[in-house]
Amino acid sequence: MSKQKVDLLIKISYCLDEPKTSIIRTNVKTERLRDLLNDYLRNQIGKGKDDRKPNEKEVYDIEIGVDLSDDTFYVASDTGNNSLTCGIIMHISAILNELKVLPL
């Protein structure tokens, strides 16, 4: 992620072949994590289609940062495609209770 000032940070290592082995590192309270992920996804609605070819990897890394002063989301990922990034975040949100969440 670029040198953006963020108050909250979520680092996701998503394993495509075995999603339940994915790991999340964050400074967000566990009980608020799903809400924050879903807020990010809602923020992406209407941003348009991403026609870039997704990168093909076994493990994708995604970082989501939030600047609480103006509620701005910043994202960095190695997926190569915003739609794939959102799909992974959506899946992470759905299986969150089954994943290992570690502090930053």
Q: How many domains does the chain have?
A: 1
Does 2 fall in a domain? Answer: no
Does 22 fall in a domain? Answer: yes
What is the β-pairing status of strands 23-26 and 100-103? parallel
* Per-residue DSSP letter, 69: T
Tokens found for residue 12: 């996701």
Q: For residue 71, give its domain range.
A: 8-103
Of the chain, the percentage scoring pLDDT greater than 90 comes to 88
> Cα separation of 65 and 46, whole Å?
20
Of the chain, the percentage scoring pLDDT greater than 70 comes to 97
The pTM is what? Answer: 0.92
100: region left, alpha or beta (phi > 0 left; psi from -120 to 50 alpha): beta
Does 97 fall in a domain? Answer: yes
pLDDT digits (tens, 9 = 90+) for 14-44: 999 999 999 999 999 999 999 999 999 999 9
Does 52 fall in a domain? Answer: yes
Does 3 fall in a domain? Answer: no
